[in-house]
Structures are given as C-alpha cells and as structure tokens.
Amino acid sequence: MQSFFRFSRIAAALLLLGMCGRVVQAQARATALGPGSYVAIGGAASAFPSDYDGRNIAGGMVFMDVQPTYRYGFEGETRFLRYHTDEGVSQTNYLMGVHVGIRPQRLRPYAKFLVGATRIQAPFGYAQGTFFTFVPGGGVDYMLSDRWTVRVVDLEYQVVPQFMGSEVRNFGISIGLSFRINDVIRLPQRATLRR
C-alpha cells in the first residue's frame, strides 16, 4: 500500500510538471532550420543496361517521396524504359519502399530500398512477364528553393531473382526534378534558408 501512495505522488508530480510546461517554457525556440516533413512528386530520365543486346535502354520515371521526418520516409516510383532499344525490348518498374535521408541540408544524400514488380518484354516477343524485384540504391538531391529540388543522381541496383529460370541484375542511373507539395514551416518565424 505504501508503494501505491509513492507511485501516486510521483505520477501527480509528473502530471503537474507536464501541465506547467505549456506555461513555463524552459527551453528557447529552435534556432536551427531543417526541411521538416514533406511530400514531393517528380520526374526523371533513366538509363539501364539491357541484358539482351548490351545497350543502355532509356526512358522516364515518375516518383513520389513522402517524408514524415527529414530522415525516414517512403518512396514510390514507376519507370518506363522504351528508348534506344531493338527488337521490342522494354522494361517497366513499379516499386516502393523506404527512403532514408543522411542529413537535412541543401545537398541531401539519401539511401533507399525498394521492392515491387518489373514487367520485362524480351526480344522479338520471345518472352514477357511480370516479376518480383528488389532494389537497393541511393543518390543525392539538391534543394534549389523551398519547392524545387534537383535529383542530381539516383543510382539503383535492380535484382529480378526469378526471370525465366535465371536472375537479372541491372545497375542504372537517373536524374530529375521534384516539386514539394506542402509548405516549409520555419522556426523562428520569417527565417530564410541560407544559400
């Protein structure tokens, strides 16, 4: 019974301190500036090697970054590789996964790990299908302004483990541009991003 009263006094003291925190603000407002949480959509140009003819097939991609914090978030992308190819070879990716920011500055390196499906069309219509794919990767983004960010480089190592009894491994590169949908909230108010 005595321990119950001791616990009650500690709980009451913590509750009182928690309520006073609104009134007595013991800490100063943050003077640092970070990108905060954000949602961005973008597009990019991509090039990946073809396993069939040794060419780098090219195409476009759209992507979406959802970052609840500057460090951890999610990325989804769809890529269509249709150009600089022969014999009807094409590849389409539908991928999503985690996106981890390394540091919240103007130049922002990141790492990612995506999973999803890849639709592959082999030469001359010989074979086609949709296959499980996993993709470790990373890159660097550069903030042009509060809204616009250049995807300076995005590197991906795509692995399709079950393609027609073999394994497809491709290392590709993309560059692009994204637009941040939500506003930047700054503390203190009226702060500007140092260039």
* Of 144, 181, 148, 177, the residue nearest 39 (C-alpha): 181
- Residue of 171, 135, 140 lying closest to 153 (CA atoms): 140
| Rounded CA separation 152/141 (Å) | 6
Q: How far apart are CA 145 and CA 39, in angstroms?
A: 15
pTM of the model: 0.72
CATH fold label, 38-180: Porin (2.40.160)
For residue 90, the model assigns a pLDDT of 80
- pLDDT of 53-79, one tens digit each? 567 788 999 999 998 887 899 999 999
Work out the average pLDDT over 145-166.
Answer: 86
Cα separation of 61 and 46, whole Å?
7
Express each pLDDT in 14-63 by its tens digit.
555 555 555 445 455 554 555 568 899 999 999 988 765 567 788 999 99
